[in-house]
């Protein structure tokens, strides 16, 4: 598969980039995508939720009433879950939601996601660019020239660039990511993926 290389003005530069069929034209695996997205979202969870059980709430341990003869259920502690202010039964506990996923499954998931985007013509290749200072207006005009300003876009750059990141931060629906951090969740979430020329090679090195 070959795609034309565009400049920041959205014009054809006359250059073309060949995309590796082993990355952008495979038989997609939906279950691998599901597992990788599930792991990504699970890793975002802090897992710091906690409620107190009956042994942890403050309160007297005095027996409330005699065991028999009251005509009501027996009660041994004010901290019982059946009383207001008592402990909670089966409440949330601090836990780690992350789980292991094999590298081959993660690679298959990313390749499958990129294949879907390639089939739907949602991948654009752009010339490598740089910014001397954070310029949101410049970044916004680039998206407008590429006709994706009204879509969720993911711009993939070859290396970390603080100015490009800061330029995109205020724009709703626009994200910037380095090629080595490209993940299935963000690929599937984006309506358009803009990849710089150098990033094509980095992606091929990692996933090829």
Structure tokens at 68: 């028999």
Structure tokens at 60: 């007297």
CATH H-level superfamily of 2-46+97-207: Ribosomal protein L4/L1 (3.40.1370.10)
8 A C-beta contact, residue 196 and residue 6: no
8 A C-beta contact, residue 49 and residue 92: yes
The pLDDT assigned to 94 comes to 95
Residue 13 clears pLDDT 90, i.e. is over it: no
Q: How far apart are CA 36 and CA 184, in angstroms?
A: 7
Show Cβ contacts of residue 10 under 8 Å, excluding neighbours closer than 6 positions. 145, 146, 147
Which ranges in the chain are annotated with CATH 3.40.1370.10? Answer: 2-46+97-207
Residue 68 clears pLDDT 90, i.e. is over it: yes
Structure tokens at 143: 């998206």
Q: How far apart are CA 86 and CA 101, in angstroms?
A: 40
8 A C-beta contact, residue 192 and residue 153: yes
CB count in 10 Å sphere of residue 28: 16
Task: Using alpha carbons, list the distances in angstroms from residue 195 to 45, 77, 136, 155.
Answer: 29, 64, 19, 6
Structure tokens at 172: 């709703």
Residue 49's Cβ-count burial label (10 Å; 0-12, 13-18, 19+) is exposed
Residue 87 clears pLDDT 90, i.e. is over it: yes
Residue 43 clears pLDDT 90, i.e. is over it: yes
Tell me the backbone φ, ψ of residue 57, rounded to 5 degrees.
-75, 155
In tens, the pLDDT along 167-178 reads 999 999 899 999
Q: How far apart are CA 39 and CA 37, in angstroms?
A: 5
CB count in 10 Å sphere of residue 197: 16
The full length of the chain comes to 208
Confirm whether pTM is higher than 0.85.
no
8 A C-beta contact, residue 154 and residue 178: no
């Amino acid at each position: 598969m070959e795609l034309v290389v565009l400049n920041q003005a959205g014009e054809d530069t006359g250059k073309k980039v060949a995309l590796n069929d082993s990355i952008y034209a495979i038989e997609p695996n939906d279950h691998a995508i599901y597992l990788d997205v599930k792991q990504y979202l699970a890793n975002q969870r802090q897992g710091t939720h906690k409620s107190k059980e009956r042994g942890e709430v403050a309160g007297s341990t005095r027996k409330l009433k005699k065991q028999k003869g009251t005509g009501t259920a027996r009660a041994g502690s004010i901290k019982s879950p059946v009383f207001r202010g008592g402990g909670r039964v089966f409440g949330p506990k601090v836990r780690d939601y992350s789980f292991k996923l094999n590298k081959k499954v993660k690679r298959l998931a990313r390749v499958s996601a990129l294949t879907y985007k390639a089939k739907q013509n949602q991948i654009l290749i752009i010339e490598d660019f740089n910014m001397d200072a954070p310029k949101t207006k410049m970044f916004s005009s680039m998206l407008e020239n590429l006709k994706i300003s009204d879509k969720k876009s993911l711009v993939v750059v070859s290396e970390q660039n603080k100015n490009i990141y800061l330029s995109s931060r205020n724009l709703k629906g626009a994200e910037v990511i380095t090629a080595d951090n490209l993940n299935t969740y963000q690929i599937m979430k984006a309506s358009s993926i803009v990849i710089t020329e150098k990033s094509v090679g980095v992606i091929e090195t990692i996933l090829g």
